[in-house]
Structure 1
């Protein structure tokens, strides 16, 4: 993903990244909705900032058997979380209070913390394994399509019996959170942006991985609108974990803004919207963030860890 890609590759990378980002956020909510998923990611990443800034600590607390101690976690204010995600303070406050009542978060005058106990539970471990598998599958798709050439991949120190699941969670969460700013900048509202992203995903997820359209950025080079599969509000509600009335309200806004078209079978984001300069810049920003994610995974030896079994199979063949 080095440099500016040709238009067909930009669209292809954008479509794959869109689906991956949505899956990450949905998974990050631990079974709750996408906004809670982003809140938990933002709080956790802010808590462990001393670790993410230190390559040595990243590796020291890379595996499930090495959870960061609570003394390394730094509380974060509700206002800082709301500002980082560009969501209303009251929305963040109310949702954080609900998560604290469930025992997921701890709140004090110093701020909010996602403590070690939930992050060491069997429930969390299952989600960490699912997150790792999601990132690994996405890596293999990008690698197969030639998006990750030129990355330095040092030998890994990880073993199959103790994979770097916490490290992968931290790096992938950092990527997902970096999407909040361009989504909000392009749409003006994070929830509306997530719904728009999922409409786009539902419209195009039937396409093969190598379908990127034509070689320019005009609407005519995109998938024709009648080939996009419409999606109903009830389906979006189920996919995102967002109440149906909330989905319908944001869809109405998208239709009013001209970013979405409503039909008898559901909603479609048309090619003219995807070809808009602002949306293309959003895709290019995402491309930059994606390259940063996989550069980090490569530098910490995660990619060579994933490559080893495949190399062994090729050697055996």
Structure 2
């Protein structure tokens, strides 16, 4: 059960938390796709391989201490290879699809295939584009934590700039948060990770205008406060594709699947909308509860790590 972290958080803000996390997920997905200069499925494959290679290392106390800074990239001999099958299972994407995208990454030199599976060599992370990507992702993390503080869904408390560089560790934790909760949403929808991102992008397009209306935003913060259909604005397939850095035809295909399976509807113009009746389904309500809990824990972890919080 979600519990507010202290007495100042006595108002149910779970839907607000989930919405904030979804926005962060979509920004992260777009950034990673740009970084690997490819489509979103390739980007998700890259992220999952990257996380698996150093998962054990960075969860260990010594690893966190030694490899937290931007320039502190773990050496190749400490990386653990991961199979295509394991990547496909984690993403909920067909094996052949992941194998194809892993091959694309191998052809561009950012992934290597060895006897035990796939690894991303240390040299890749030292490239200027990758260093810049971590810096930009760090900016997304800071904005996420600061937005949560500004909206009153996390308490920053007294805070000072961290005494050491924790940028790479913060980004690793951000990617883990992203992948883990994308999988949770995918299970709730009984869809793969890419379908989950398309679903989130449609939802953001439907309600994105509320972010600029403080009164409307404050009306839909709690678990039971589901925005009605009259405030939802249909979003075009083109806008969803552009926001996710996905090919139009791929996005259209995933949109059709979501409509056919009852997760979304089409307007008279062919634009997409997720109606309130879908959002109110038990599986999605449970998803909001789980995402709110995970988001609160993640935000607290970021503050403890030393991520600076901009003034509210």
Specify the TM-score bucket, using the shorter chain as the normaliser: 0.7 to 0.9
Alignment CA distance shift 1:214-1:95 (3 Å): closer
How far apart are the structure 1 equivalents of 2:92 and 2:55? 19
1:255 aligns with 2:279: no
Quote how far apart the aligned CAs of 1:263 are. Answer: 1.1
Quote how far apart the aligned CAs of 1:204 are. Answer: 1.2
Other-structure match for 2:234: 230
Quote how far apart the aligned CAs of 1:33 are. Answer: 2.4
TM-score normalised to structure 2 length? 0.87
Quote how far apart the aligned CAs of 1:242 are. Answer: 2.1
How far apart are the structure 1 equivalents of 2:264 and 2:51? 33
Aligned residues: 301
Other-structure match for 1:11: 15
TM-score normalised to structure 1 length? 0.86
Helix, strand or coil: the match of 2:118? strand
Segments of structure 2 that go 5 or more residues without pairing to the other structure are none
Quote how far apart the aligned CAs of 1:17 are. Answer: 1.1
Alignment CA distance shift 1:137-1:216 (3 Å): closer
Segments of structure 1 that go 5 or more residues without pairing to the other structure are none
Equivalent of residue 202 in structure 1, options 190, 202, 205: 205
Quote how far apart the aligned CAs of 1:295 are. Answer: 3.0
Quote how far apart the aligned CAs of 1:65 are. Answer: 2.2
1:126 aligns with 2:132: yes
Q: For 1:295-316, what per-residue CA distance to the aligned partner results, in whole angstroms no more than 9, with x for missing partners?
A: 332332x23xx14x75xxx9xx
Q: How does 1:1-317 map to 2 (within 5 A)?
A: 3=3, 9-29=13-33, 30=35, 31-149=37-155, 156-158=162-164, 163-190=165-192, 191-208=194-211, 211-213=217-219, 221-265=225-269, 266-300=271-305, 302-303=306-307, 306-307=308-309
How far apart are the structure 2 equivalents of 1:56 and 1:2? 31
How far apart are the structure 1 equivalents of 2:133 and 2:292? 25
Root-mean-square deviation (CA, aligned residues, Å) is 2.6
Helix, strand or coil: the match of 2:272? strand
**Contact 2:84/2:117 (CA < 8 Å) preserved in 1?**
yes
How far apart are the structure 1 equivalents of 2:211 and 2:183? 29
How far apart are the structure 2 equivalents of 1:242 and 1:234? 9
Quote how far apart the aligned CAs of 1:279 are. Answer: 0.7
Quote how far apart the aligned CAs of 1:238 are. Answer: 1.7
Helix, strand or coil: the match of 2:211? coil
How far apart are the structure 2 equivalents of 1:73 and 1:267? 42
Range 5-14 or range 21-30, more displaced? 5-14
Q: For 1:94-149, what per-residue CA distance to the aligned partner results, in whole angstroms no more than 9, with x for missing partners?
A: 10010010011111121100111110111001111110101101111101122223
How far apart are the structure 2 equivalents of 1:217 and 1:106? 45
Range 232-241 or range 127-136, more displaced? 232-241
